[in-house]
Structure formats: C-alpha cells, structure tokens
Amino acid sequence: MLCKTAEDCPKPADPRCGEAMCDAEVCRLALRERFPNQRAGDCVTLRCDEAGRVVAEADDGDVFNDGNECTIDACVQGVSVHRPRAAGNAEEGSGYCDGEGHLVGCLRDEDCGTPSYACSTSGTCVLEWCDNAIFDDASGETARDCGGRCQPCRAGQPCTADSDCIEGACGSDMLCKETSCRDGILNGAETDVDCGAPSCPACAASRRCDAHESCQSGVCADGRCRRPTCEDGVMNGNESGIDCGANCPTACPLFISGEET
C-alpha cells in the first residue's frame, strides 16, 4: 500500500505488536521481535504474526514453580501440571514426600528417631500411645489417637480446643469443624487465610499463592500474589484488555462484531 506518512497505513491488529510505518512511500509494519507482555509460568508464549495479531503458542519450557518440593512441575502441551514425587526423602532435606504431593515429617516409625515415638497415618511423629488404635482419654486424647498431645482430629471428631483439630477450629458443640472460607484460619486447600482454595475467593496482592488462579490479579510469583501491572500479560485491575486501556499507556484495539476497526 502506498503512503506519504504512517497515518496513511493500517495499524497492527494489536498495538502491543508494534507500529505502522511509511517506508519509501510504502506501508509496512514494524513488529516487535519479542512480544513484551508475557505471563511467566503459564506454559504459553505469545508472539505477533505478520498482521500484528497476538498468537498464543504452547511452550513446555515456561514452567510454573508451585513451591512444593514434593511435586514435579512441568508443562504438557501448554497445560501446567504438578505430578507427585515418589515417596522418600524430600530433595531439600526438610522432611519426606508421601507420594501424593505432600511434605510430611515421617514415613516410617524409624524416621522419628526414638522408640517412644511412632509415625502416624498423617505422617507426623507422635508419642507411641497416640498410634495404638485405643482412645486414651487419660493421656489427653479427645478421640481415638488424636487430640491433645497427639495428631489433630478430623472434622466431626470430639475436641476441647482449636489445637485438637486439623482445621484449627473446635466448635461450640465440642466437635472439630469443617474448613470454611470465612473462619479466619489458614486451613483446607487455602494458600492464605480464607483465600486461594478452589472453593474460596482469590487472594489479594502480597498474600501467599501456589498458582496464578489463587490470585485476584491472576499473577503468582515466588509464592506471593502480585499487584496488577501493564506488563504482566493478564487483563486485571481496571484494564479494558490485556495490559491496555484504563491507566496503561497502550490503547486497546477496537472490535465491532468481532472485526477490528
């Protein structure tokens, strides 16, 4: 297409891809060699095609680290996966992997280091009588092999204090309560207090996370939710598109009935 200035030339479909130029009276697109707005760890790389459109491609090298030493992080055909490591010593030497993706304190009684302790079914070293399948109420258990100085009890089991319960909440009926997104306690699958679990709201900036989906901004890095920015590769904050519109320096492409204007 012939031109006199860049204003005579069609712009790239997405302004983040570059800009239109009039070169020797011929229109061309000056495209970025590398798309600038990438969300790290989403198993996807964005690039610009010849028309300046953003194209997403699976990138199995763009792996998200979930911060769990008992999982193997990977991308499979553009999808993030976290496979449990085999049961055994944790790589960082801070405990044991149970084979289901959880870091535990022991796998066998021998891991507890003394005959007076045993490895409970939850992978915690407890006093030997805490694992004898008997309700030792005289020793402080609130239910069989749990509560008191033993491992915490499951929801629905008797308790006398919050510390007797796995979820950290002993109800007024003296039974351990189910986890809740409104109990003010970090429990269940939550990544921070009352947020981050699939059934709970996403977490605000600076709170703990283990996946992008755990965060309101859609960006989790180094185990913390990040604030929205105009360079994070996600439509968040008050943006009207991905990293464009609102307070961002880049205007968003306009679409009418699916076609750009």
Q: Is 26 helix (H, G, I), strand (E, B) or coil?
A: strand
What mean pLDDT is predicted for residues 175-189?
Answer: 94
Does 202 reside within a domain?
A: yes
| Res 252: pLDDT | 83
> Distance from CA of residue 8 to its chain's centroid?
46
What mean pLDDT is predicted for residues 22-34?
Answer: 89
> Distance from CA of residue 257 to its chain's centroid?
35
Does 72 reside within a domain?
A: no
Is the pLDDT reported for residue 185 higher than 80?
Answer: yes
Does 42 reside within a domain?
A: no
Residues of the domain holding 205: 189-233
- Which of 35-49, 94-108, 137-151, 174-188 has the lowest average pLDDT? 35-49
pLDDT tens sequence across 41-71: 999 998 888 888 888 899 999 999 998 999 9
Does 195 reside within a domain?
A: yes
Residue 30 φ then ψ, to 5°: -95, 100
Q: Give the contacts of 204 (CB within 8 A, at least 6 positions apart).
A: 195, 215, 216, 225
Q: How many CA atoms lie within 13 A of 212 on its CB side?
A: 18
Does 131 reside within a domain?
A: no
Does 16 reside within a domain?
A: no
Q: Are the CB atoms for 164 and 175 separated by under 8 Å?
A: no
Is the pLDDT reported for residue 36 higher than 80?
Answer: no
In the chain, the number of structural domains is: 1
- Give how far Cα 141 sits from Cα of 98, 108, 129, 153, 167, Å: 25, 22, 10, 9, 17
Does 1 reside within a domain?
A: no
Is the pLDDT reported for residue 198 higher than 80?
Answer: yes
Does 194 reside within a domain?
A: yes
Mean pLDDT of the chain: 90
